Amino acid sequence: MYTMSSDDFSVHQQDCDEAGSGIPITSLPDEVTSLDDLPCSCWDEVDSFDELD
Ligand SMILES: [Zn+2]
């Protein structure tokens, strides 16, 4: 599960503080094609985009 911020529609890990009161989503949006599309620090622990669904 991930969280999409309702402020700027950025996608975060579910437990990210930056996401605030975001919208829970079960998979990444089609627009997200690489870790470069996930600039928040909550993704720093992710080594490879292939690890994500
Ligand atoms: Zn985040």
Burial tier of 34 (Cβ tally within 10 Å: 0-12, 13-18, 19+):
exposed
Rounded to the nearest whole angstrom, what is the distance from the C-alpha of residue 46 to the centroid of ligand 1? 12
Rounded to the nearest whole angstrom, what is the distance from the C-alpha of residue 9 to the centroid of ligand 1? 11
Please report which confidence band the pLDDT of residue 21 belongs to, taking 50, 70 and 90 as the band edges.
confident
d(CA 31, CA 10): 11
Domain extent listing, the chain: 2-43
d(CA 17, CA 50): 24
Please report which confidence band the pLDDT of residue 46 belongs to, taking 50, 70 and 90 as the band edges.
very high
As beta bridge partners, residue 24 has: 3
d(CA 4, CA 32): 12
Please report which confidence band the pLDDT of residue 13 belongs to, taking 50, 70 and 90 as the band edges.
very high
Rounded to the nearest whole angstrom, what is the distance from the C-alpha of residue 31 to the centroid of ligand 1? 17
